[in-house]
C-alpha cells in the first residue's frame, strides 16, 4: 500500500512516497555542487522527471539540450548523463523512480537513454498538488497515488501510443470497474489502496486507475470521497446534527477535514448547506 516517506537518499535527493510500483521524490542540487562537473548516474530504475528549474541534459553522443518546466524528462535505467547549469537556482525537480513491473506495463524504456515529451499543464499541477498534499496532517494517499500514476500514464502515451483496446478488453474492463464500484459502495469509509482494489479485480494498480477514470469520469479516490459526502448529506441537513460525529462516521479524520472536502464537492460548508435548506431528494 502507499506509504509516506521522508528519507534522504543522498546529499540532494529525498524520497517522499512509496506508491504502487514507484517511489516519488524530490531533487535539489545547488549550483555550486560538484555533480555539475562529473558524470551523473540515474540509478537502477527508470525515472520520470518533472523539472522545477531549467537544466541542460545530455547523454551519449546526443547533444546537450535545455529542459524546462514545460517538459517531462524520461531516463532509462542505468543511464549515465551530463548536466549543465542554466538556472541560478541549480537543479530542482520532482522525480518518479519506476519499478520493473510498472515500467514494463507503461513501455517506458526503449534504449534511447534520455527522452523528453511536452508536460501537460494538468500533469504538472497534479504532481505538485500531490507533493503538497503529502505535507498535510491527513494526506489522502490514494489520491496522491492515482495522481502520480495518471502522470506516468500520460507521459507513456506521449512516448509511445498504447494499443487500442478490443471489444473483449472493453467488456472485461467494464466488469472490473463495476466490481470496484461495488466494493467502494459496500464500504465507502474503508481506506482502500490501489493495490488492494487491483488485486480484487486482477488488474495492476496503473491499469485499474486509468480504466476506472475512463469508464466513470472520476479518479477512484474522488469517487469514494463523493460516496461518503453524498451519503452524509441528509444527516448534515438535519437541525442540530453533530458535524464532528458525522465526519468520523463517514471516514474523515476530523471536522476540518470533512468541511474542506464538503466545500470542494458542494461549493459551500456543511453549515451553509444547512442554512440554505437544501431539499433532500
In tens digits, what is the pLDDT along the chain, a chain of 281 residues?
Answer: 799 999 999 999 999 999 999 999 999 999 999 999 999 999 999 999 999 999 999 998 888 899 999 899 999 999 999 999 999 999 999 999 999 999 999 998 878 899 989 888 888 888 988 998 898 888 889 999 999 999 999 999 888 754 455 777 788 888 999 899 999 988 888 889 999 999 999 999 999 999 999 988 889 998 988 888 888 888 887 777 788 888 888 888 888 888 888 888 888 888 888 775 444 33
Q: Domain 230-275 belongs to what architecture?
A: Orthogonal Bundle (1.10)
Q: Considering only CA atoms, which of 165, 203, 168 is closest in space to residue 183?
A: 203
Residues with Cβ within 8 Å of 210's Cβ and at least 6 positions away in sequence, in order, are 149, 150, 153
Q: What is the DSSP letter of 77?
A: T
239/274 Cα distance (integer angstroms): 8
Residues with Cβ within 8 Å of 130's Cβ and at least 6 positions away in sequence, in order, are 17, 24, 143, 144, 147, 148
Whole-angstrom CA distances from 178 to 212, 214, 216 are: 9, 13, 10
For 235, the 3-state DSSP assignment is: helix
185/187 Cα distance (integer angstroms): 5
Fold agreement (3-159, 230-275): no
Domain ranges of the chain: 3-159, 167-217, 230-275
Quote the pLDDT of residue 165. 59
Quote the cell numbers at residue 89: 537556482
Describe the strand order of the beta sheet including 71-75 as a list of residue ranges: 3-8, 13-18, 22-29, 91-98, 47-51, 71-75, 114-118
Quote the pLDDT of residue 112. 83
Angle between helices 167-186 and 220-236 (to 10 degrees): 40
Return the residue matching grid coordinates 452524509. Answer: 232
Provide the CATH number for the domain formed by 3-159 in this structure.
2.60.120.280
pTM: 0.80
Amino acid at each position: 500500500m502507499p506509504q509516506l516517506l521522508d528519507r534522504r537518499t543522498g546529499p540532494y535527493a529525498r524520497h517522499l512516497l512509496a506508491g504502487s510500483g514507484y517511489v516519488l521524490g524530490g531533487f535539489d542540487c545547488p549550483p555550486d555542487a560538484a555533480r555539475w562537473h562529473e558524470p551523473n548516474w540515474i540509478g537502477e530504475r527508470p525515472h520520470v522527471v518533472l523539472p522545477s528549474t531549467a537544466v541542460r541534459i545530455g547523454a551519449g553522443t546526443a547533444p546537450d539540450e535545455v529542459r524546462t518546466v514545460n517538459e517531462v524528462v524520461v531516463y532509462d535505467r542505468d543511464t549515465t548523463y551530463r548536466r549543465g547549469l542554466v538556472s541560478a537556482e541549480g537543479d530542482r525537480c520532482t522525480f518518479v523512480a519506476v519499478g520493473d513491473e510498472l515500467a514494463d506495463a507503461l513501455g517506458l524504456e526503449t534504449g534511447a537513454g534520455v527522452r523528453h515529451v511536452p508536460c501537460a499543464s494538468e500533469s504538472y499541477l497534479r504532481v505538485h498538488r500531490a507533493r503538497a498534499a503529502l505535507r498535510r496532517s491527513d494526506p489522502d494517499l490514494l489520491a496522491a497515488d492515482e495522481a502520480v500514476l495518471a502522470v506516468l500514464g500520460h507521459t507513456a502515451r506521449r512516448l509511445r501510443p498504447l494499443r487500442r483496446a478490443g471489444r473483449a478488453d472493453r467488456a472485461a474492463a467494464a466488469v472490473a470497474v463495476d466490481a470496484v464500484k461495488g466494493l467502494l459502495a459496500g464500504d465507502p469509509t474503508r481506506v482502500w489502496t490501489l493495490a488492494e482494489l487491483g488485486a480484487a479485480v486482477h488488474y495492476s494498480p496503473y491499469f485499474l486507475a486509468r480504466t476506472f477514470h475512463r469508464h466513470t469520469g472520476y479518479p477512484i479516490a474522488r469517487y469514494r470521497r463523493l460516496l461518503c459526502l453524498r451519503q452524509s448529506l441528509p444527516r448534515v441537513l438535519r437541525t442540530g446534527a453533530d458535524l464532528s460525529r458525522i465526519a468520523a462516521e463517514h471516514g474523515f479524520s476530523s471536522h476540518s477535514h470533512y468541511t474542506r472536502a464538503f466545500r470542494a464537492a458542494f461549493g459551500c460548508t456543511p453549515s451553509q448547506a444547512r442554512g440554505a435548506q437544501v431539499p433532500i431528494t
